[in-house]
Structures are given as C-alpha cells and as structure tokens.
Amino acid sequence: MPVFRIMAVYFYIGNEGLSILENLHALNVPIPKGIAKYIEQLSKEEDVQNYSQSSNEK
C-alpha cells in the first residue's frame, strides 16, 4: 500500500509548490513566462468559480 502514500505525498508537494509559485508571481518575482501564463490562467479560473459560487448563494 505504499503507492497511495507516495501519491499523497506527491500531491501535497505539488500543491505547496504551486502555492509558492503563485505567491512569488503575486510579489512580481521573475519566473518563466510559461509558468506565469499557467498561474494567471489558474487564477482566472478560480475567480470565475468564486463568482459563480457567490452568485448561486444569493
């Protein structure tokens, strides 16, 4: 069963790594353009999801 443990560890490492990259991007730290575009796309999708959830609650 260590396969699931390893998968969970990789998931959390990836999640924290993405969070660190998002914070660095917010602080205007230079990061590669491809990663910056990906982060911007993720934040736009997150904004759309937050907007749709808030409008559904009304």
Stated pTM of the model: 0.63
Is 25 within 8 Å of 36 (Cβ atoms)?
A: yes
Residues of the chain with pLDDT under 70: 1, 49-51, 53-58
pLDDT digits (tens, 9 = 90+) for 43-55: 887 777 666 766 6
Q: What whole-number distance in Å separates Cα of residue 15 and Cα of residue 22?
A: 11
